[in-house]
A = this chain, B = another copy of it.
Amino acid sequence: MQNHPFEKMAGLSSPNDSKIILMVLDGLGGLPTKPRGSTELETALTPNFDTLAKEGVTGLHLPVGAGITPGSGPGHLGVFGYDPLAFQVGRGALAAAGVGFEMESGDVAVRGNFCTLDEEGRVQDRRAGRIDTKTNNRLCEKLDPIELDGVELFVQTIKEHRFLAVLRGEGLSDEVNDTDPQETGRKPIDPEAQKSGAGKTAAALKQFAECARKVLAEESPANGILLRGVAKKPEWPSFRDVFGLNAAAAAAYPMYRGVARLLGMEVLPQPETFEEEVEQVKEHFSAYDFFFIHFKPSDSRGEDGDFQAKVDAIQKADAIIPALRNLAPDVLIVTGDHSTPALLKSHSWHPVPTVLWSPTCRTDRTESFGERECMSGGLGPRFPATDLMPLALAHAGRLKKFGA
């Protein structure tokens, strides 16, 4: 608990029966396609977001720091109040959390990809033609029974070509390299100990890869595996301990369910659609203090480079706001985990539009929800993402006075 927001808030938490809703529009921030043009959010017709912006306080948050483009994990950790530089998690542990695998202390998790190997054992396709999830299920049933020397193995489907492998046993380590060569035409890299004490883990993963190749020999196109992000379960202070909040997550995608689970949030049953997520929040509104709702399409359409489709996605998210306001939350925040401008077809480092609505807001001069309006909002054009949670708690009346 050495880092900034936690340190400041230690001992200030003062639970009450207020409700906070945090709606994350993945990849919300955008760019104009020409200088002085409008971004996706500025182009979208968002009457409900605009009302929040008029009544609340706006700004743009910096997810990690100047110039840093965050992955989805760090982006979410920041808005959840966990400094992404202090709380780093390996891909394996994030994958385990995402599919709801209960890692035990000492377990080591790895993200696996099914891949296609040629006759010399070189990687032909790092994703085995993105096989479907049903095929993945069948293949994982072949991998799961593999017996390793002195180590228990669990293999579980994630989605398409992605699976999770977990090792359980004494003396395991996360100091083992990835086996993915990151390009085709090369053989998978052997797992090796990066530090003393990691030999047992490296040997187990090597044995796993060899056995997998035998078991998958007759399969096509998925006749091999690549392993990435060997990781232990992070031992982090829980959302409840840090903020005194009983939190629930409504999210359809494994990644975001995983991050929420790592912080000890209750992850609501897997929804199929965004509308279903909102229904879940309604249904459980009396049972929790804090709700995280995740909306994926704004990021996906940005990654596609489809400006108009991202505009449409944002409009769809806007339409859900009246349903959330009808629940009469004490604090409602709409923001993103990072920017995904259609112009760049990828995550970016640009600050992320944010509106915080609450009856205790000091209204600023923002007239609508958009990047340029937020630049002159009360939260400033580049505030740290980790400021959001302390602000939410304060507006919810959940923080005591500091000092006499």
Residues of A within 8 A of B (CB): 4-5, 7-9, 12, 29, 31-32, 35-37, 39, 54-56, 59, 64-74, 84-85, 88-91, 94, 229, 343-344, 346-351, 360-365, 371-372, 375-384, 386-395, 399-404
Check B376–A68 contact: CB distance below 8 A. no
**Given known A-B contacts A72-B404, A399-B68, A380 and B382 have beta carbons under 8 A apart:** yes
Q: A31: nearest residue on chain B (CB-CB)?
A: B362
- When all copies of this chain in the complex are counted, the total is 2
Contact of A394 among B36, B67, B382 (CB under 8 A): B67
B31 to A399, Cβ gap below 8 A? no
* Interface pairs (16), CB distance under 8 Å: A7-B85, A8-B85, A12-B68, A32-B362, A65-B390, A67-B387, A67-B392, A67-B393, A69-B402, A70-B403, A71-B403, A74-B402, A89-B404, A90-B404, A351-B378, A362-B371
| Minimum C-beta distance from A155 to chain B (A) | 20
Contact, CB under 8 Å: A37 / B402: no
Among A64, A371, A376, A395, the most chain B Cβ lie within 10 Å of the Cβ of A376
Q: For residue A398, which residue of chain B has the nearest CB?
A: B67
Closest chain B residue, CB of each to CB of A63: B402
Bound-state CA distance A31–B386 (Å) is 24
Q: What residues on B are CB-neighbors of A394 within 8 Å?
A: 66-69, 348-349
